[in-house]
Amino acid sequence: MSEHSLELKGSLFPLSVLHCTDVSVSSLEPLLSAKLAQAPGFFYQAPIVLNLQDCQQVPDFVALKQLFVALKLVLVGVTGASPTIKAAAQDAGLAVLQAGKTASTKANEVPQTAISSQQLAPSTMDSKIVEQTVRSGQQIYAKGADLIIKGAVGAGAEVIADGNIHIYGSLRGKAIAGASGDTSKRIYCFNMQAELISVAGNYWLSDSLQGEFWGKPACIKLQDDTLVISELV
């Protein structure tokens, strides 16, 4: 058997996102400290992404990184940044994460830090179309797009999309919609027998899918942070 010393795989991790308009260390420090004091253990060494959608000037990333280290947080990257801010972030060694082509609803929030996941309005996206059954062991990722599968998804297969997932067949494998965090995305299939379904990081295993919807056409969406399954007529 040939051995690989290195394997690159796609994976899904929920990340906390910090929205702020004022990214100066002086204003951020007291607010963040206060927030952390409410639940110090929870955020210990938590990976954080900075949403800089509403940020006008280029932040001092070096100082920000030092602040995060001092607060025992891990600044992983930025999102929603303008091209200039993006470039500065990359120079500072931070990752630039793509949120999808939608606007945040927290546009005019006062410099109040909110540790929450993004709420994105529903949007139209490109579609990636797969015209055959997805076999066990295969993985399909529709980046920044909806995924439409004309066929079944076999047990042991994974279909992932930043957008919605439509399966015109049986779902026996894993389906992960809203992979970048969009909670408005949904999963549709003709025959629900999934190993795992997930919307924006919230997931159910097949145990939770047993019951009246198993083996039937179904739709899964996220409602108020809870997964909801309904029958597809």
Partner 1 sequence: MAKIIVVTSGKGGVGKTTSSAAIGTGLALAGHKTVIVDFDIGLRNLDLIMGCERRVVYDFVNVINGEANLKQTLIKDKRVDNLFILPASQTRDKDALTKDGVERVLTELAKEFDFILCDSPAGIESGAMMALYFADEAVVVTNPEVSSVRDSDRILGMLSSKSRRAEQGLEGIKEHLLLTRYNPERVQKGEMLSVEDVKEILAIELIGVIPESQAVLNASNSGQPVIMDKDSDAGQAYLDTVQRLLGETVPFRFLTVEKKGFIKRIFGG
Query: Could you list the residues that contact partner 1 (CB under 8 A)?
Result: 1-2, 132-138, 151-152, 154-157, 172
In whole angstroms, how close is the CB of 136 to partner 1 at the nearest point?
A: 4
In whole angstroms, how close is the CB of 1 to partner 1 at the nearest point?
A: 6
Q: Report which secondary-structure segment, H or E, holds 28.
A: helix 25-38
Listed in order, strand segments (DSSP E) in the chain are 16-19, 47-51, 74-79, 95-97, 114-116, 126-130, 139-142, 145-149, 158-161, 165-171, 174-177, 187-192, 196-199, 202-205, 218-223, 226-231
Token pair recorded at residue 175: 């389906």
DSSP letter for each residue of 196-218: EEEETTEEEEHHHH-STTTTS-E
Q: Give the whole-angstrom CA distance, residue 139 versus residue 32.
A: 39
Q: Name the phi and psi angles at 83, rounded to 5.
A: -50, -40
Token pair recorded at residue 160: 């992932």
Between 136 and 208, CB nearer to partner 1: 136
In whole angstroms, how close is the CB of 205 to partner 1 at the nearest point?
A: 18
Between 151 and 201, CB nearer to partner 1: 151
Between 127 and 138, CB nearer to partner 1: 138
Q: Give the whole-angstrom CA distance, residue 52 versus residue 113.
A: 12
Between 173 and 178, CB nearer to partner 1: 173
Token pair recorded at residue 83: 């091209």
In whole angstroms, how close is the CB of 149 to partner 1 at the nearest point?
A: 12
In whole angstroms, how close is the CB of 208 to partner 1 at the nearest point?
A: 21
Between 154 and 201, CB nearer to partner 1: 154
Between 1 and 110, CB nearer to partner 1: 1
In whole angstroms, how close is the CB of 2 to partner 1 at the nearest point?
A: 7
